[in-house]
Amino acid sequence: MENLTPEIVKNKRVLMRVDFNVDIDETGKIIDDFRIQRTLPTIKFLKEESAEKIILISHLGQPEKNAFWTEKFTLKPIADYLEKILKEKISFCSLKNFQEIKETIAKSEKGAIWLLENIRYHEAEEKNDKDFAHELSQLGDIYINEAFSVSHREVASLCAITKFLPSYPGFLLEDEIKHLNNIIINPKPPLVIILGGTKVEDKLPLIDIFSLKAHWLLIGGVIANTILKAWKFEIGSSLYEEKIIEKAKNLGSKTAELILPGDFFVLDKKQQKKNRELGQVEKGDNILDIGPIAASTFRDIVKKAQTIFWNGPVGKIEDQRFQEGTKEILEAVIQNKEAKTVIGGGDTLKSLKILNSKFLLVQADQIPDSIFLSTGGGAMLQYLAGQTLPGLKALEKI
């Protein structure tokens, strides 16, 4: 993949795929702008290096067919927000027809920045349709993939479009790959992997791979519930993933030590918070956090690490009664100044934001340089598991 240079973008109409799929409240307020902020260096570079036009493509949510072209999934609030933080005019294009879009953009001033309406309003996007991609490509002279976090999707605005335009990775995408390669794929031992949250099926391949190269695998959340269920432990009414129970039965220690929680905080059948040890969980209990013994064990192991990868909170972080386990891990990660760390996944980054705003674990915007916050969730997990990301493969054609 050829890197971006000033010569490549000068006087060019740049079509750039970004991921502005961020949380927006009912008033249109952006709840977390992390992914938006991470694209700003590339947008500023294009402006400074005299790109003719900058045309941004993103999705928002997963609109069903009956929700196409409704306000529910519009990117208009993103355009307004981007204008405020960039202090640049952002033109929002809600047109459906690409010929009309092309003519409208052509009339705009040199250096104009455009954000197109939600690309998923077009059915052909999800089908990776070549004719659709060809229409889309006519808006630009070159294409940039700056959406690492959705590069595991085989869609037109990431894959088929590269057949029609000179295509390049953006600065964010390159930064993601560099950090994942240097820190996690080629780690300095001892390596500690922390996995929690949901999406168990995405995380099981990581357990298989890193059980051969990590020193410890610390497991919490729904993934721990699933493994415990597979191993015939009582988990009460706790969430788990039935369809992967058979795979979970075969998980066990290889080189790495697989550490599951020895105690939990649960809501019992009377909706009271209780501390239960493994083997004492009752039928009506719902496991919602690791317990104090498990948190202490996890914390002590994190202190020993030279490399840390963390994906997924170990408790129901939205409920302040079940934040303590994740807080303990986060404190240990921040305090381990010797380790290089990658933290990724939407729920994990949301946890960091919630806990930091509540407990002031680090000063705002002062995350240590040793900690890399990845925009990726599923894409990051698949990349680390050695799976091919269609969005990256599409760039390799050049």
379 falls within a domain: yes
pLDDT in the model for residue 136: 98
1 falls within a domain: no
C-alpha torsion angle, residues 384, 390, 391, 395 (rounded to 10): 110
- What does the alpha-carbon distance between residue 332 and residue 298 come to, in Å, rounded to a whole number? 9
327 and 286, same domain (yes or no) = yes
- What does the alpha-carbon distance between residue 122 and residue 69 come to, in Å, rounded to a whole number? 9
Roughly what angle, to the nearest 10 degrees, separates helices 34-48 and 171-179?
A: 130
75 falls within a domain: yes
106 and 218, same domain (yes or no) = no
282 and 243, same domain (yes or no) = yes
126 and 246, same domain (yes or no) = no
Report the sign of the C-alpha dihedral through residues 105, 110, 115, 119, in that order.
positive
Q: Which residues of the chain, if any, have pLDDT below 50?
A: 398
Domain extent at residue 80:
6-169
Residue 218 near residue 195 (C-beta atoms within 8 A):
yes
Give the list of residues 6+ apart from residue 320 with CB closer than 8 angstroms, or none: 358
- What does the alpha-carbon distance between residue 353 and residue 357 come to, in Å, rounded to a whole number? 6
Q: Name the strand (E) or helix (H) holding 177.
A: helix 171-179
215 and 347, same domain (yes or no) = yes
Report the sign of the C-alpha dihedral through residues 18, 23, 26, 31, in that order.
negative
Q: How far is C-alpha 277 from the geometric centre of its chain's CA atoms?
A: 32
84 and 157, same domain (yes or no) = yes
146 and 238, same domain (yes or no) = no
214 falls within a domain: yes
Residue 371 near residue 341 (C-beta atoms within 8 A):
yes
In degrees and rounded to multiples of 5, residue 293 shows phi and psi of -70, -45
Other Cβ atoms within 10 Å of 2 Cβ, number: 11
Answer with the one of 114, 149, 169 that is the final residue of a domain: 169
35 falls within a domain: yes
Report strand pairing: 273-277 vs 142-145.
unpaired
CATH number for 251: 3.40.50.1260
**Position 109, amino acid:** E
64 and 188, same domain (yes or no) = no
- What does the alpha-carbon distance between residue 349 and residue 364 come to, in Å, rounded to a whole number? 14
Other Cβ atoms within 10 Å of 385 Cβ, number: 16
Closest CA to 351 of 380, 324, 313, 321: 313
Report the sign of the C-alpha dihedral through residues 389, 63, 196, 234, in that order.
negative
Q: Which DSSP state fits 253?
A: -
pLDDT in the model for residue 398: 46
397 falls within a domain: no
344-373 pLDDT, tens digit per residue, is 988 888 888 888 776 666 665 567 889 999
pLDDT in the model for residue 360: 64
Q: What is the spatial order of strands in the sheet that 90-93 belongs to?
A: 90-93, 112-116, 53-57, 13-17, 142-145, 167-169
Report the sign of the C-alpha dihedral through residues 245, 249, 250, 253, in that order.
positive
pLDDT in the model for residue 205: 85
182 and 331, same domain (yes or no) = yes
200 falls within a domain: yes
396 falls within a domain: no
Q: How far is C-alpha 37 from the geometric centre of its chain's CA atoms?
A: 14
121 and 235, same domain (yes or no) = no
60 and 113, same domain (yes or no) = yes
Answer with the one of 125, 140, 169 that is the final residue of a domain: 169
Q: How far is C-alpha 346 from the geometric centre of its chain's CA atoms?
A: 5
pLDDT in the model for residue 79: 97
181 and 202, same domain (yes or no) = yes
Report the domain count for the chain: 2
Query: What residue ranges in the chain does DSSP mark as E strands?
Result: 13-17, 53-57, 90-93, 112-116, 142-145, 167-169, 191-195, 216-219, 257-259, 263-267, 273-277, 286-290, 307-311, 340-344, 371-374
Residue 235 near residue 229 (C-beta atoms within 8 A):
yes
Three-state DSSP at 90 gives strand
Question: pTM of this prediction?
Answer: 0.93
Answer with the one of 169, 188, 207 that is the final residue of a domain: 169
Residue 173 near residue 145 (C-beta atoms within 8 A):
yes
Structure tokens at 14: 């740049």
